[in-house]
Structure 1
Amino acid sequence: MNEVKRPVNSHKAYHAHVYFDEATVDFASELCREAGQRFGLQVGRVHEKLVGPHPMWSCQIIFGSKDFEQLISWLDEHRNGLTVLVHALSGNDLDDHTHYAYWLGDSQTLDVSQFTA
C-alpha cells in the first residue's frame, strides 16, 4: 500500500470510487445511491468486476468542487471501513490517478499502465 493522501479540494471536478468486495457490495451500493440522492450527484454502475485502473470492484460518484467538502466528510463518516479513491478530473488521466489521487481509508495500488501506453 502507498502513503495515504487525504482529499484536497484543488480542482473543479472529481470522481469518488467506492471500493468493495462480495461481502460489502450491498452496503457499498446503498452508500453510493444515498450519496447520489443526498447531494444530487450522478452515480455510476456498481461494477462487480475490475474496471479501468481499479484493483477492486467499485462504484463511481461524479462531483464538483462545490460539493467536495460536504460529500467527502459524509463519505468518510458513513463508509464503514470501505476504501474510497477520490481523484481530480484535470484532463490528464495519469496525473488524476497518481498526483491527484486521494484516499479515505487504506490506499490501494492502481494499475495506471493503460494511461502510459
Structure 2
Amino acid sequence: MSDPSLYTYESPLVGWEGGEPLSDEPIKDGPNAKSLPNSSPTHPSEAYNTFTSPISNDTRGGFDIHVYYVSSVPSELQFARGLHTRIRREFPELRIYRMFDEPVGPHPVGMFEVNVFDPKQFGAFVGWLVLNRGPLTALVHPNTGDDLRDHTQLATWMGQPYPLQLGALRAVLHKRRASQIAMAGNY
C-alpha cells in the first residue's frame, strides 16, 4: 500500500458545482426503498464508454489485472493454469500474457497479466474474475502513466494482498527514465 498523504487530490465535485441540492430523504416505497433519490439523468456518464483521464485509452490498455499464484503449491499452480486457459478462451479480445512461475518485477510470486481496453471489458472481465478466481489473488490497477502510484495508491485487490517489491519497480522506472534521457540526447 501507499501513504495517501504522498499525493494531492482534486475535489470530486470539479465540474459538478452549482447543481440543484440533492435530497437526503430516502425513497419510502418500491424497489428503490431506502435508497436516496438522484437527479434525473440527462445522459449516461461518459465513463461507460471511455476510461476517465488520466487512465490510458490507447494500446497500453486502461487496466492491468495481475493474477497471483504460488507455483510451489501444486493445487494453486493447477488452478492458475486452468484459469489462464479459460480466460484465453472466454475473453480472446483481451491481451493475456504468459504465466510467470517465479517473481518478476514488483510481483512477489508467480502471476499472469490481463489487459482490458475499455470500461465494458473491465466490467465484464472483473465481474467474471470476482466469481472465478478461486483461491487466487488478483491485483487490479489503472495505467495512468505513474506506474508507482498505479501499483500502490490506485490499486485494488481481490483476495489477500501481497506485498509488492516496490524497490524492483523503482529500479525499472529509473532504468526506463535513464534510457529515455539517453534517447533524447541522440536527437
TM-score, scaled relative to structure 2: 0.54
Would you tell me which structure has more strand in proportion to its own residues? 1
Take 2:162 and 2:133, find their aligned partners in 1: how far apart are those partners? 16
- 1:105 is aligned to 2:154: no
Matched residue, 1:14: 63
In the aligned structure 2, how far is the partner of 1:67 from the partner of 1:15? 12
Superposed CA offset, 1:10-55 (max 9, x none): 5341111111123212211221232233222111010011001011
5+ residue gaps, structure 1, are 3-8
Match of 1:28 in 2: 80
SS at match of 2:108: coil
Counterpart code for 1:31:
L
Query: How big is the alpha-carbon RMSD for the aligned residues of Structure 1 and Structure 2?
Result: 1.8
The Cα offsets for residues 44-85 of structure 1, whole Å up to 9 and x where unpaired, read as: 010011001011110111112331111111111011121001
User: How many percent identity over aligned positions?
Assistant: 32
Equivalent pairs, count: 110
Any runs of at least 4 consecutive aligned residues in structure 1 with deviations exceeding 2 A, and if so which? 9-12, 114-117
Alignment of 1:36-115 (within 5 A): 36-39=88-91, 40-64=93-117, 65-115=119-169
Higher relative contact order (CA 8 A, sep 6+): 1
Q: Does structure 2 conserve the Cα–Cα contact (< 8 Å) formed by 1:85 and 1:103?
A: yes
The TM-score normalised by the length of structure 1 is: 0.83
**Structure 2: stretches of 5+ with no match in the other structure:** 2-50, 172-187
**CA-CA distance at 1:86 after TM superposition:** 0.7
Name the amino acid aligned to 2:157.
Answer: W
> Are the equivalent residues in 1 in contact too, given 2:137–2:160 (CA < 8 A)?
yes
